[in-house]
């Protein structure tokens, strides 16, 4: 039993889809969430900038005495080198490994699609993980840079004509490749899973990395004796104004379910070098 909170971060509010899943599988945990709303998006930035931002996000969560950190961001999970996370004082995970494992299990024909931000797709990280799990897998990838702004601006819902038109354009080559499994490689994308599912058709299984990682988190915390069984709760922090947070959080999590919200100065945080 460890009552310290779980730390979760994302470049913005897409990571709240992972918080939704964490609260479902671990209702007794307290979650501290940081959304870097002042610097979103990360996905179009350079590798060095993404690493610098991610280290500051981690430093902030460590200042909150968290027992575990989850990068609920496909972009950070693809880029942050394992050696950095290996030196942290608490367990750390991204959202890639659990998603890749779930996709490898779901595919019957060994043809998997991956969509994500430009940085995630450029990193080739999903292909490497999938090939390690299924050496003869065919992987088809596509960066979908307009999905994040569409989600952040509320262009949600299966019938949304703009999101549907853009999804048709982005997903056409992956659909033609005949995949039976598609990884939603950015934590914003589960919010438009209904549109993506409609475009891809009923024979394609969609993998939500936040959901898969929430399940893996439960297993990890249990194995290390770190589970809490309290009343549960959440504290949210953002790097831009908190205005509108509650309504966005409601839309992203289904229900916001309470929790304090505060703005922090993320530039004040630096990751201390670990020996
Ligand atoms: N939520 C981030 C991810 O999973 C995408 C947003 C961004 O580009 O910052 O990749």
Domain containing residue 35: CATH number: 3.40.50.1860
* pLDDT attached to residue 246: 85
> How far, in Å, CA of 266 to CA of 197, rounded?
36
pLDDT in tens, 80-97: 876 677 789 999 999 999
Measuring from atom 2 of ligand 1, which residue has the nearest CA? 73
* pLDDT attached to residue 83: 62
Tokens standing for residue 110: 């060994």
Average pLDDT value over all residues in the chain: 93
* pLDDT attached to residue 57: 97
* pLDDT attached to residue 23: 93
> How far, in Å, CA of 106 to CA of 100, rounded?
10
What average pLDDT does this structure show over 41-50?
91
The H or E element spanning position 123 is helix 118-123
What average pLDDT does this structure show over 68-84?
88
Cβ neighbours of residue 200 closer than 8 Å, sequence gap 6 or more: 113, 171, 174, 175, 182, 206
Give the CA count within 13 Å in the CB-facing half-sphere of 196.
27
Domain assignment of residue 177, given as a range: 96-209
* pLDDT attached to residue 235: 96
Mark whether 194 and 222 lie in a shared domain.
no
Q: Which atom of ligand 1 is found nearest the CA of 186? A: 4
Cβ neighbours of residue 108 closer than 8 Å, sequence gap 6 or more: 180
* pLDDT attached to residue 275: 52
Mark whether 100 and 71 lie in a shared domain.
no
Q: Which atom of ligand 1 is found nearest the CA of 145? A: 8
What average pLDDT does this structure show over 203-214?
97
User: Residue 274 falls within a domain, yes or no?
Assistant: no
Mark whether 66 and 124 lie in a shared domain.
no
- Active-site annotation holder among 50, 137, 183, 186: 186
pLDDT at 138 over 80: yes
User: From the CA of 1, how far away is ligand 1's center (Å)?
Assistant: 32
User: From the CA of 259, how far away is ligand 1's center (Å)?
Assistant: 23
* pLDDT attached to residue 247: 83
Tokens standing for residue 19: 């918080």
pLDDT in tens, 248-259: 888 888 776 778
Band the pLDDT of 63: cuts 50, 70, 90: very high
* pLDDT attached to residue 229: 85
* pLDDT attached to residue 80: 84
- Active-site annotation holder among 13, 16, 73, 79: 73
User: Residue 42 falls within a domain, yes or no?
Assistant: yes
pLDDT in tens, 109-118: 999 999 999 9
User: Residue 71 falls within a domain, yes or no?
Assistant: yes
Given strand 181-184, what is the order of strands in its sheet?
138-143, 111-116, 181-184, 205-207
* pLDDT attached to residue 91: 92
Mark whether 224 and 129 lie in a shared domain.
no
Mark whether 69 and 102 lie in a shared domain.
no
* pLDDT attached to residue 86: 74
Residue reference for tokens 């450029």: 122
What average pLDDT does this structure show over 257-264?
89
Q: What is the pTM assigned to this prediction?
A: 0.94
User: Residue 49 falls within a domain, yes or no?
Assistant: yes
Domains identified in the chain, total number:
2
Q: Which atom of ligand 1 is found nearest the CA of 76? A: 10
- pLDDT > 90: percent of the chain: 81
Active site residue 144: no
User: To test the ligand 1 pocket, which listed residue (187, 192, 208) has its Cβ within 8 A of the most ligand atoms?
Assistant: 187
Measured in whole angstroms, the distance separating CA 166 from the mean position of its chain's CA atoms is 21
* pLDDT attached to residue 252: 85
* pLDDT attached to residue 209: 96
Mark whether 90 and 225 lie in a shared domain.
yes
- Ligand 1 pocket at CB < 6 A: 10-12, 14, 40-43, 73-75, 117, 120, 148, 186-188
User: From the CA of 189, how far away is ligand 1's center (Å)?
Assistant: 9
Mark whether 164 and 28 lie in a shared domain.
no
User: Residue 198 falls within a domain, yes or no?
Assistant: yes
Across 64-204, the runs of DSSP E, i.e. the strands, are: 68-71, 92-93, 111-116, 138-143, 181-184
Strand partners, 238: 35, 263
């Amino acid at each position: 039993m460890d009552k310290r909170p779980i730390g979760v971060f994302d470049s913005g509010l897409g990571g709240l889809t992972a918080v939704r899943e964490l609260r479902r599988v671990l209702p007794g945990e307290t979650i501290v969430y940081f959304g870097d709303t002042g610097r979103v998006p990360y996905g179009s930035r350079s590798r060095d900038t993404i690493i610098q931002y991610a280290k500051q996000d981690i430093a902030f969560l460590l200042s909150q005495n968290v027992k575990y950190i989850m990068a609920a961001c496909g972009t950070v999970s693809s880029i942050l080198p394992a050696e950095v996370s290996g030196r942290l004082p608490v367990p750390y995970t991204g959202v890639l490994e659990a998603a890749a494992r779930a996709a490898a299990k779901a595919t019957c024909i060994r043809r998997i699609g991956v969509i994500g931000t430009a940085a995630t797709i450029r990193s080739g990280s999903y292909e490497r993980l999938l090939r390690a799990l299924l050496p003869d897998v065919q992987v088809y990838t596509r960066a979908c840079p307009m999905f994040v702004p569409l989600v952040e601006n509320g262009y949600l819902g299966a019938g949304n004509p703009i999101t549907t038109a853009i999804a048709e354009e982005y997903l056409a080559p992956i659909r033609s490749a005949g995949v039976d499994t598609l990884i939603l490689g950015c934590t914003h994308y589960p919010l438009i899973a209904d549109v993506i599912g409609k475009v891809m058709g009923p024979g394609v299984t969609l993998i939500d990395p936040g959901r898969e990682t929430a399940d893996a988190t439960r297993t990890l915390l249990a194995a290390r004796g770190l589970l809490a069984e309290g009343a549960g709760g959440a504290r949210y922090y953002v790097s831009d104004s908190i205005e509108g947070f509650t309504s966005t959080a409601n839309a992203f999590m289904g229900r916001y379910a309470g929790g304090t919200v505060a703005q922090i100065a993320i530039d004040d945080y630096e990751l201390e070098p670990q020996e």
